Structure 1
Amino acid sequence: MELRQLHYFTVLAEELHFTRAAGRLHLVQSALSTSVQSLERELGATLIARGGKRLRLTAAGQAFLVEARRTLAAAEAARDAVAAVQGVLTGTLSIGYMPAPDSYDLAHTLGRFHHAHPGVTLRLRNVPSAELVEQVRDHRLDLAFVSTLDRPPRGVRVETLRRSAMPLACAKSHRLGDRRTVSLQEIVSETFIDFVTGWGVRTAVDELLAQARLHRTTAFEVNDIPLGMNLVAQGLGVAFVPPEVVTTYPEVHYLTVDPAPLWHIGLAHLERPRMSAAGRAMLDLINSSPPPLQQPSPQPLPTDASRAGEDPGTA
């Protein structure tokens, strides 16, 4: 059994598609298939069920995947240890980030790390926070910037970088378009635009409403902020958004909600002894100097003077 075979298998297990996996590995599909079949013969078990339209992991494959990832991580740690003795950090650092990159200056942090460790290859992955935490747990990511801090899986730590209240966005023509603050109870009857399950915004809002024993109607589910904000601007619903959105989309109105769901920014990683040398180096860099966080500027609120020329019938 070779490390190369374990690597091929883990990629195929992630993709569950021979063509895509072969593409990631820069192999011809037949070579990948032969490698996996050789591994199955050596183990005396079928790891990948090939019947039907979609591949799936067998029970043996699921069990083997856990150990294969551990073995690959241990091999990477061994290489890192030798590189550290030689004074040169090499290898690959995989970093995940949630779909709200304006919340922190990721490029600044990556630039500092690359300047200090040019021999490390950086890989980035952008998926919802819940999936990022799972990928850290499974050794598929070294670290991840996430917006969910509660109840991480065993072995994963999430360090808080920032917590702040999320504003509610609505169209300026909305009935709440001239309000500054609103209670949570007042808005539950509104039509909501929200993000898909797994996003930190969705989790925070759902948990707050559950605690308050309130129910809302979600008419639109989106998986990107620009589309969600465009729907809000069209008057199709209201949406809780990360605070940084305020400066990016000034064409809509923002309100303070009491109580408001909290926007969390955290750094997820394995326990330090289980991290790669590159992962520990990045963690040290972030802990010594956290990535700059975008600071939202308050939206100018209507004043009596600015309203002087308004049509009273539109208030």
Structure 2
Amino acid sequence: MELRQLECFVAVAEESSFTRAAARLHVVQSAVSATIAALEGELHTRLLERTSRRVALTDAGHALLPKARAALDAVRDARDAVDDVNGGVRGTLRVGTLSSLGPIDLPALLGRFHREHPAVSVHLATAASCGGSPGLVEALREGRLDLAFVSIPGSPPPGVRWSDLITTPLDLVVPAGHRLAVQSRVALGELADEAFVDFPSGYGNRAVTDRAFATAGLQRQVAIEITAIGDGADFVRHGLGVALLPRGSTGPDDGLIALPITGEDLNWPISLATPGNRTSSAAARAFERLVDQHLRWVRLSRPLVS
């Protein structure tokens, strides 16, 4: 069994596609197919079921996948040890992210990381493509991501560990002509009959809002689902609903009014999550240190709720 065979197998298993696995590995699809066939021949069993629509793991494939990942992680750790001696960080960093991170400037973070560690290849996955924060957590557990910015209220789920980064209050955002726009603050009970613009289930700010309404014994109607905070403000501006958005999402001249909610826990948390079942790579550890430095600078430049 060769490492290249295991790398191809893991890529096909995670992508559920020979085509996407080939693109990820920067090789032609025929090379991936031949490598998988050689691995199956060596193990005397079929690892993948191929149909015209999908690729799925057999029972043998399911048994091999965690062992293959562990083997690749061990090789990565060995390379990291050598790179540490030689004074460099190499490899690949796979980062998951939410569509918005509030005051955390992810492009600036990644740009600085690239300048400091040019030998590391960075790949970015979004919550929208993974199914929100729960999908990012699952990708961490399965080894498809090295770390991820997530938003899940409460304690970390099994299989991951995280550090809390920031917490931002959610304010009610309404059009300037809305019946509540003249108030200085709003109680949650005043919103029971409103149509809401909100994120899909699984997103952190949606979970915070759903929990607050459930705790208050109130129901609400989500009329429009979005995946970007800016889209929420646009829909509200055109009178299609109200929204609970992170404080600071709206400006003074955009035709919107932001109102604090009284007496409720409506704080949107952002955490940096890493897998709990394996050690972080040198590249992931370097990125975590960079995030910590960035947040210290942010806290000096503007107050945060934490």
**For the superposition of Structure 1 and Structure 2, which TM-score range results when normalised by the shorter chain?**
0.7 to 0.9
Partner of 1:263: 268
Q: Which residue of 1 aligns with 2:250?
A: 246
Counterparts of 2:57 and 2:162 in 1: how far apart (Å)? 29
Contact 1:171-1:252 at 8 Å conserved across structures: yes
Task: State the match for 2:67 in structure 1.
Answer: 67
CA separation of 1:24 and 1:119: change in aligned 2, threshold 3 A: closer
After TM superposition, the score normalised by the length of structure 2 is: 0.87
For 1:69-108, what per-residue CA distance to the aligned partner results, in whole angstroms no more than 9, with x for missing partners? 2221121111000110112221122222210044312233
How many pairs were matched up?
Answer: 297
- Show CA shifts across 1:251-289 (max 9, x none): 321111121421112111135971111112222333355
Amino acid at match of 1:117: H
Deviation at 1:209, TM superposition (A): 1.9
Which residue identity does 2:26 align to in structure 1? Answer: H
Moved more, 200-209 or 101-110: 101-110
1:203-282 equivalences under 5 Å are 203-247=207-251, 250-258=254-262, 259-271=264-276, 274-282=279-287
Percent identity, aligned pairs only, is 41
Q: Which amino acid aligns with 2:285?
A: R
Cα distance in structure 2, aligned partners of 1:103 and 1:130: 22
- The structure 1 residue matched to 2:164, chosen from 148, 160, 178, is 160
Deviations 1:23-65 (A, max 9, x none): 2222222221222222223233332222352222233323322
Q: Matches of 2:155 and 2:242 in 1, distance apart?
A: 28
How far did residue 246 of structure 1 move?
2.4
Q: C-alpha separation between the residues in 1 aligned to 2:195 and 2:35?
A: 53
Structure 2 residues without counterparts, runs of 5 or longer: none
Give TM-score, length-normalised by structure 1.
Answer: 0.85
Q: Mind listing any 5+ residue stretches in structure 1 that lack a counterpart?
A: 298-315
RMSD across aligned C-alpha pairs, in angstroms? 2.5
Structure 1 residues 107-118: aligned runs within 5 Å: 107-118=107-118
Q: In the alignment, is the contact (CA less than 8 A) between 1:104 and 1:292 conserved in 2?
A: no
Rounded Cα–Cα distance in structure 2 between residues aligned with 1:112 and 1:149? 29
Q: Measured at CA, do residues 276 and 197 of structure 1 come closer, stay the same or move farther in structure 2, by a change above 3 Å?
A: same
Partner amino acid, structure 1, of 2:88:
V
Please, which of 169, 173, 197 is the counterpart of residue 169 of structure 1? 173
Matches within 5 A, 1:1-315: 1-51=1-51, 53-127=53-127, 128-247=132-251, 250-258=254-262, 259-271=264-276, 274-288=279-293, 290=295, 292-293=297-298
Q: Which has the larger radius of gyration?
A: 1
Does structure 2 retain, via aligned residues, the 8 Å contact 1:168–1:241?
A: yes
1:114/1:17 CA distance change after superposition, 3 Å: closer
